């Protein structure tokens, strides 16, 4: 326990200082110190670049998945071979979800006496799950705000630089 306390309460600082002192003993001239600092900065910049590249690849995978799902639906809706149930199942399920969630909200707000006290927690849990599903339905049909959030973050990053 003492080791962990030392590590987190100043032991890490002591460790960094001792490594710095060792490097100062190994690196003797100003040029060598500056070269070492440049190498450390290069490594940090490369790390940040690699991290950003991985983040971009992950975002491309997510966008590709969304695009392929939308492409599949467009192909299914425009296909002459698709049955009526295939063309209408997803919109019907989306509308059903919306109606169920709105119905549960209506019951909870305007007639809470219908729901028994012992089953209220279960109804609230189901309503929470359905609300999350409703959010996904809206995101699918009307677009997600993830792109907007990313765009806002990029603009904020540009302003700070």
Are 76 and 82 in contact, with CB atoms under 8 Å apart?
A: yes
The secondary structure element, H or E, covering residue 55 is helix 30-78
pTM for this structure? 0.47
Dihedral of the alpha carbons of 78, 83, 87, 90, in degrees to the nearest 10 = -150
Report the pLDDT averaged over residues 132-147: 77
Give the separation between CA 68 and CA 73, rounded to whole angstroms. Answer: 9
- Residue matched to tokens 């959030």: 149
Give the separation between CA 74 and CA 91, rounded to whole angstroms. Answer: 13
pLDDT tens readout for residues 119-130: 878 888 888 888
Res 45: pLDDT = 92
Q: Which residue has the higher pLDDT, 52 or 161?
A: 52
| Residue 131: strand, helix, or coil | helix
The mean of the pLDDT values for the chain is: 77
Give the separation between CA 135 and CA 130, rounded to whole angstroms. Answer: 9
pLDDT tens readout for residues 41-71: 998 999 999 999 998 998 888 888 878 877 8
**Counts for the chain of helices (H) and strands (E), in that order:** 6, 0
- Across 51-60, 79-88, 107-116, least confident range: 107-116
Q: 96 is written with which tokens?
A: 């059903």
Dihedral of the alpha carbons of 11, 14, 18, 21, in degrees to the nearest 10 = 170
Res 46: pLDDT = 92
Q: 19 is written with which tokens?
A: 């490594």
Q: 1 is written with which tokens?
A: 């326990």
Are 77 and 87 in contact, with CB atoms under 8 Å apart?
A: yes
Going from N- to C-terminal start, the domains of the chain cover 1-82, 83-161
Report the pLDDT averaged over residues 138-150: 69
pLDDT higher than 60, residue 5: no
């Amino acid at each position: 326990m003492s080791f962990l306390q030392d590590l987190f309460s100043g032991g890490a600082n002591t460790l960094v200082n001792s490594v710095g002192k060792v490097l100062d003993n190994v690196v003797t001239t100003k040029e060598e110190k500056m070269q070492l600092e440049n190498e450390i900065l290069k490594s940090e910049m490369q790390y940040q670049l690699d991290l950003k590249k991985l983040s971009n690849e992950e975002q491309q995978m997510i966008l590709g998945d969304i695009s392929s799902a939308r492409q599949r639906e467009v192909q299914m809706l425009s296909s002459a071979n698709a049955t009526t149930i295939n063309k209408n199942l997803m919109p019907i399920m989306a509308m059903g979800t919306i109606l169920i969630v709105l119905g549960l909200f209506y019951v909870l707000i305007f007639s809470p006496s219908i729901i028994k006290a012992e089953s209220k927690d279960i109804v609230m849990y189901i309503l929470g799950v359905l609300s999350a599903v409703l959010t996904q339905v809206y995101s699918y049909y009307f677009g997600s705000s993830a792109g907007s959030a990313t765009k806002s973050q990029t603009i904020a990053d540009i302003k700070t630089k």
